[in-house]
Structure 1
Amino acid sequence: MSSTAPVPEGRPITVCEVGPRDGFQNEKTFIPTEKKIEIANALFASGLRHMQVTSFVSPRAVPQLADAEDVLAGIDRPDGAWVTALVPNLRGAERAANCALDAVHTVVSASETHNLKNVNRPIDQSLTEFEAVFDRLKTAGIAVEGGIATAFGCPFEGVVPAEQVARIARRYQELGAESVSLGDTTGMATPLTVRAAVRAIRDAAPGLDIHLHFHNTRGVGLACVMTGLAEGVTHYDAAVGGLGGCPFAAGATGNICTEDLVYLLQESGYATGVDLDRLIDAALLAQSVIGRELPGQVIKSGPRLKRHDPELTTTAAG
């Protein structure tokens, strides 16, 4: 298997915010369109420049994202922004082609059972249908990022061989994708499975850029990020406040938290271009809009060197 040198300290790392899509889609109470736009703008204002803003899925299947076009039309795009959306099929691609997008994100599961549960078709049928999606979006001047769900394990089948993930990645490359995102849909990723998948893809599809999308279901999401960095991966998805999950994966919880990821990267010597204090403010805004405490840690404690007034702190007695 091939290997890659670790990402050197000081190297810029791309943090892609997926909360407005992957996080909001799981909320049962509809988030008003203007609030979605406000949160997205606050995240951009923190310095984030990559964002998966919404999804062109059926409004019946995911009513929370029925306002996709309105949200995309309403956000303030800063210079250098890379705005994406998820599309499940050609119908979604047709909608996306009429919006101001830099790229769309397709998704197929590495597990046959999960793909049947998620989109009601076998893996190879999904990949064949993506041919029309790639063609349509190429005509519209929109890039396509290939997504692979359950890349590190399946709640129905268990182990997903790295060779299966690499086969799908190679097919995406043949379709015209320049990048592939490995989704830890069920939080089953470990440092060992991450290393195996990344190396298998580099062997099967040389030159294909690899993105990593971890959930924190079992508490090792950030440990998997460190493994990714050791393997030379420089692009990571995360969701504000740790929002997210998968409705078709039993026991799945949220994505790794954007504030926690940015804190880890910056404290490890990497550049993110993000103002952590402003990012925490954006997370607090999202928490207020959603109306419950979010699972992120840095949102609670603040940056490492945050100062507190000793006069306001209880002194031990005795």
Structure 2
Amino acid sequence: MTVNNQTPDETRRVTIREVGPRDGFQNEPETIATADKIRLINRLGAAGFKRIEIASFVRPDVIPQLADGVEVLKGIDLPSDVDRLVLIPNSKGLDNALAVRELFDSAALFVSASQTHNLKNINRTVRDTMDDVKRMGRRIVAEGIHYAAVVATSFGCPYEGAVDMERVFDLAEEFVDSGATEIGFGDTTGMANPAYVSRFFARAAQRLPEVELTAHFHNTRGQGLANAYAALEAGCRSFESSFGELGGCPVPAGSTGNIATEDLVSMFHEMGVHTGLDLGAVIAAAREAQQTLGRRLTSHSIVAGPVLWETGDPAVTCLDRSPAH
């Protein structure tokens, strides 16, 4: 079977982590009911996601929207093969997370490649953060938890401008030395462009050959999907995105959301790239998030739906002719 004249290639298979329940919701001003979060996460699991970022163990007074993280983790009902990821900001957050160790599978630690952004975001220097990472990483590995790491502002900083690529990889290697097996590179304020992304992931594969490399793009300047395509062509096979294009960095102002999961999945399916996801169900989950928030979200697929492919039978329309999962 072909998809839009593209022959499916079994080697072009990607994984997508849905980060909406954490990264997507964290900047929402109106409190989202715990029951609504649980229902939406369960829908994501039913849509085929094998990786979902669910909660953060940040102080409730810092991000009140995520204060119910433990309740959400306790309330969700996901298939057993879904990886439940939580974000850990510091050693105190790790203490709190380990107190409910049975509720999650993966933990992510993070730093910004930009000193200024790191100070504004978590009020710590990059070096202080990485010193803490070394201690936390050992504890995470000892608990048998999948350890992921994130380098924010990997593609540019709104305060400092260009960020040296090799500096980003130096930080990534420190995470790997502390036990991380996955490194996510965050385009935190949407400053990446496809040409740079292509060079970046080609070099990342050289510097980190045994590590899972994950691309995390924001759509602040409308280049998110183009950047995802460039990363794919450079060999990246792991991506993060948020339903409805929700999210954004708390600092600075104007940093809009992640690339929309439903748009990313739609693009990949049109290209014959395997995702393991039910696009119709992904769009339905995004539309439910829109209804829950009571405002129109900005993804294209929420409005347009999936591409309609004619099956040859006038009585049947196939909503998604992506390759079999």
Give the secondary-structure state (helix, strand or coil) at the position aligned to 2:185: strand
Q: Is the 8 A contact 2:138 2:179 kept in 1?
A: no
CA distance in 2, matches of 1:8, 1:146: 29
* Aligned residue in 2 for 1:59: 60
Cα offset, 1:205, TM superposition: 2.8
Identify the match of residue 196 of structure 1 among 199, 202, 225: 199
After TM superposition, list the pairs within 5 Å mapping 1:1-318 onto structure 2.
Answer: 11-97=12-98, 98-305=101-308
Q: CA RMSD in A?
A: 1.7
Cα displacement (A) at 1:297 = 0.4
The answer to whether the 8 Å contact 2:150/2:183 transfers is: yes
How far 1:10 moved relative to its partner?
Answer: 5.5
Q: Is the 8 A contact 2:188 2:218 kept in 1?
A: yes
After the TM superposition, which parts of structure 1 deviate over 4 Å for at least 4 consecutive aligned residues?
A: 7-10
CA contact (8 A) 2:141 2:179 kept: no
Q: Deviations over 1:44-77 (max 9, x none)?
A: 1111111001111000100100111110111112
Contact 2:244 2:261 in 1 (8 A): yes
* Partner SS, residue 35 of structure 2: helix
Structure 1 residue 136 displacement after superposition: 2.0
Equivalenced residues, count: 302
* 3-state DSSP of counterpart to 2:37: helix
Q: How far off is 1:306 after superposition?
A: 6.8
Deviates more, 1:148-157 or 1:91-100: 91-100
TM-score normalised by L of structure 2: 0.89
- The alpha carbon displacement at 1:275 in A equals 1.1
Q: CA deviation at 1:240?
A: 0.6
Contact 2:113 2:171 (C-alpha < 8 Å) held by counterparts: yes
Evaluate the alpha carbon distance shift between residue 8 and residue 224 of structure 1 in structure 2; reply closer, same or farther with a 3 A threshold.
farther
1:26 alignment partner, SS class: coil
User: Match of 1:52, SS?
Assistant: strand
Q: Distance in 2 between matches of 1:196 and 1:125?
A: 29
CA offset at residue 140 of structure 1? 2.2
What residue identity is the alignment partner of 1:144? Y
Unaligned runs of 5+ in 1: 1-6, 308-318
Per-residue CA deviations over 1:210-250 (Å, capped at 9, x if unaligned) read 10000001111110111111111110000011100011123
Asked if the contact 2:134–2:175 (Cα under 8 Å) also holds between the matched residues in 1, the reply is no
Give the deviation of 1:200 after TM superposition. Answer: 3.1
- Answer whether contact 1:69 1:99 (CA < 8 A) is retained: no
**1:105 Cα deviation after fit:** 1.0
Deviation at 1:192, TM superposition (A): 2.3
| Matched residue SS, 1:180 | strand
Q: Is the 8 A contact 2:201 2:235 kept in 1?
A: no
| C-alpha distance in structure 2 between counterparts of 1:176 and 1:46, whole Å | 31
For 2:71 and 2:136, locate their aligned partners in 1 and report how far apart those are by CA, in whole Å.
22
Partners of 1:149 and 1:184 within 8 A in 2: yes
8 Å CA contact 2:25–2:246 kept in 1: the answer is yes
Q: Is the 8 A contact 1:213 1:236 kept in 2?
A: yes
Tell me the SS of whatever aligns to 2:121.
helix
Does structure 1 retain, via aligned residues, the 8 Å contact 2:25–2:247? yes
Distance 1:182 1:86, change over 3 A: same
Residues of 2 paired with 1:193 and 1:108: CA distance? 21
Q: Distance in 1 between matches of 2:168 and 2:200?
A: 7
2:283 aligned counterpart, secondary structure: helix
